[in-house]
């Protein structure tokens, strides 16, 4: 009992010491300042976090963290090698010149193309490439090269444009010809063939051709002489007079035939 009293007396004496009172006062002031500035709260939160981490550190987490640390050490060892340092310097130079950004954009585009390319698109591209190879093989043929040269010659001379315009005209005429027009033209051609195919008209045409051939041969053998005197001598020929009278009768009959055909139509 006396020992406890002595201890209390000694503590009271120490607390009554001015130096102790001054130290305690400074300590209280410092703690009050820390509490007002929020440092004390942060300290308590840090202590709680450390305690939480210490309590949550199980053997599994410790082993996992140890494995991660080992991997990080290996990576750090590899990064410290001269080759890695040289590569980092080159990468820094590429980044400084702006080429690294272009490289990233290029890789993004390639990645987008690869991700968007489906099996159907790949098959279609393969078919297109096969056709292009076929066209290239055809274009390498000497005959094709000769045809291209001729086509170039037609283009230079202007005949290619004329041929194109003619093809447009033929296409227009083909599209403009209806079934009724085709039937009408066919019937007209049939009637014309029937009229021309008669034996009487065939004999007339044959005689006309024979007469024209004989006249051409006589003109080559004995060319006619120009002049009024030669013309008068020719007109006195009875054969020529009969021929002229025949042509006059033909003209008169042709007029009657054409007038009758027009009135009938």
Q: For 221-251, what is each residue's pLDDT tens digit?
A: 888 777 878 778 878 888 888 888 888 888 8
Whose CA is closest to 218, among 242, 206, 234? 234
Taking 50 as the pLDDT cut, the residues of the chain under it are 1-2
Co-location of 202 and 161 in the same domain: no
Whose CA is closest to 164, among 155, 174, 173? 155
Residue 215 lies in a domain: yes
Residue 31 lies in a domain: yes
Cα angle value 100/103/104 (rounded, 5°): 90
Q: What is the pLDDT of residue 6?
A: 64
Q: What is the pLDDT of residue 180?
A: 76
Tell me how many domains the chain contains.
Answer: 3
Q: What is the pLDDT of residue 195?
A: 66
Q: How many Å apart are CA 23 and CA 41, to the nearest integer?
A: 23
Residue given tokens 């009637």 in the structure block: 191
Residue 108 lies in a domain: no
Q: What is the pLDDT of residue 265?
A: 64
Residue 140 lies in a domain: yes
What letter does residue 265 receive in the DSSP assignment? -
pTM: 0.27
Q: How many Å apart are CA 253 and CA 250, to the nearest integer?
A: 5
Cα angle value 231/237/238 (rounded, 5°): 145
* Residues 221-237 as b or e (16 or more Cβ within 10 Å = b): eeeeeeeeeeeeeeeee
Q: What is the pLDDT of residue 14?
A: 65
Expressed as residue numbers, the domain containing 154 is 135-174
Co-location of 241 and 206 in the same domain: yes
Co-location of 208 and 239 in the same domain: yes
Q: What is the pLDDT of residue 197?
A: 66
Q: What is the pLDDT of residue 1?
A: 47
């Amino acid at each position: 009992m006396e020992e406890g009293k002595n201890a209390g007396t000694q503590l009271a004496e120490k607390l009554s010491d001015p130096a102790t009172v001054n130290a305690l006062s400074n300590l209280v002031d410092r703690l009050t300042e820390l509490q007002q500035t929020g440092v004390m709260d942060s300290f308590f939160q840090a202590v709680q976090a450390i305690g939480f981490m210490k309590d949550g550190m199980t053997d599994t987490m410790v082993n996992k963290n140890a494995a991660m640390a080992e991997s990080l050490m290996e990576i750090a060892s590899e990064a410290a090698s001269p080759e890695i340092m040289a590569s980092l310097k080159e990468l820094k130079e590429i980044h400084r010149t702006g080429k690294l950004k272009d490289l990233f954009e290029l890789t993004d585009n390639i990645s987008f193309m690869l991700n968007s390319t489906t099996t159907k698109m790949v098959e279609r591209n393969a078919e297109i490439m096969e056709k292009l190879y076929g066209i290239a093989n055809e274009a390498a043929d000497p005959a094709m090269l000769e045809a291209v040269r001729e086509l170039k010659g037609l283009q230079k001379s202007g005949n290619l444009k004329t041929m194109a315009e003619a093809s447009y005209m033929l296409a227009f005429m083909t599209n403009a010809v209806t079934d009724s027009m085709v039937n009408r033209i066919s019937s007209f051609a049939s009637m014309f063939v029937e009229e021309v195919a008669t034996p009487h008209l065939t004999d007339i045409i044959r005689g006309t051709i024979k007469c024209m051939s004989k006249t051409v041969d006589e003109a080559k053998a004995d060319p006619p002489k120009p002049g009024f005197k030669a013309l008068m001598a020719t007109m006195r020929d009875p054969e020529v007079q009969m021929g002229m009278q025949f042509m006059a009768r033909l003209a008169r009959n042709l007029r009657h035939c054409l007038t009758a055909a027009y009135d009938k139509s």
